[in-house]
Amino acid sequence: MAFKNLDNDRLELDLSESEIKLHENLTFNERTPNISAKKSGLSESTYFDSISLLDLPWEQVLCNYLLPYLSIKDLFRLRLVSTGFRDLIQTHFGLQFHVNTCSLGDHFSSKAFQIMTRNNIYLRSLCVRGAKSWLNSETILPIISSNPHLEKIDLTGCSALSGPVIYSIGVNCKYLKHLCLKDCVWLVGDNFLSFMNTPLCLEFLDLSGCWNLDDNLIVQLVQFTPSIKHLLLANLFGLTDRAVGAIAHSCPELINFSVRSCWRVTDNSIKLISHYCPKLKALQVRECRDITEESLTYLRSKKVRIDKAAPSGLNLNRLDLQQINLNARINMVL
């Protein structure tokens, strides 16, 4: 069996005449050694010599039990072996529910990504974290519009995208639960207009490092995300107590909340979070100069994980009276 070059993209097997005749005579139900060998006029040993990996059922066996163990790089290498393997890998890509290029980061290409996703209509998650240069809006927009059942999208650090991507997500992905836009510095408030039509089922939202976003967007956005559990807003330098107060009133399911390095946020709004978000388990407030133990002590007593170290000698067992005073002050504010 010899290899014949077709082009730079793939190779094709040059089969002998008897092998071609054997493959033409085989049907899915005839692939047993004795029957097939007898019908083709070949000995049983010759038949076994002609069997290849591609004779196994593609969708039921190869795509389910073999190919998932290969990395993306290995899948593309296997795709180059022959036209048969090219079609097998394309079938495998089209059956995927999850696309994840995080392990490759920026060491990938737009063309390869299009090959991976051009037949996908059943995607549930799309993770392209770290695609700084090769992923652009023209490449990802068709994927978003073709996969309305996406539940998770991670665009962390994808700096070559633009506003229409976020607008398209809001229009097409009505089942979205997890949206990570960390360090997408190109984001502006108007990109989220499509999110503000009907309540969303978002449970995780990461807008950390999106410098252009401010109070106005957050106040409007949380009104349509009542089921949010993880809200990460680190390094949003325009964020103030106004937005955090709106989060406290609109997000009672909040579990994890980050305002790290949001230096305009103060104890006043963190007290509202502790009062209206009883399920809170983690709080990140490091480098927030105006958030002190005045608002954090009560949260520590409730075993909330806080990334700012507690003062030495802090006694968490004498908080009953402090809590009464805290509730009284909150009622006065309201």
**pLDDT tens-digit series, residues 24-72:** 343 333 333 444 444 455 555 555 567 788 999 999 999 999 999 999 9
Unique residue bearing structure tokens 């909340």: 257
46/243: higher pLDDT: 243
Instruction: Write out pLDDT tens, residues 160-189.
Output: 999 999 999 999 999 999 999 999 999 999
Which of the four pLDDT bands, split at 50, 70 and 90, describes residue 9? Answer: very low
What whole-number distance in Å separates Cα of residue 23 and Cα of residue 47?
A: 10
For the chain, give the mean pLDDT.
84
Which of the four pLDDT bands, split at 50, 70 and 90, describes residue 15? Answer: very low
What whole-number distance in Å separates Cα of residue 151 and Cα of residue 101?
A: 17
Which of the four pLDDT bands, split at 50, 70 and 90, describes residue 230? Answer: very high
Which of the four pLDDT bands, split at 50, 70 and 90, describes residue 331? Answer: low
Which of the four pLDDT bands, split at 50, 70 and 90, describes residue 3? Answer: very low
pTM for the model: 0.79
* Per-residue confidence (pLDDT) for residue 233, from 0 to 100: 98
Q: What are phi and psi of 308, to 5 degrees?
A: -105, 125
CA dihedral 98, 103, 104, 106 (to 10 degrees): 100
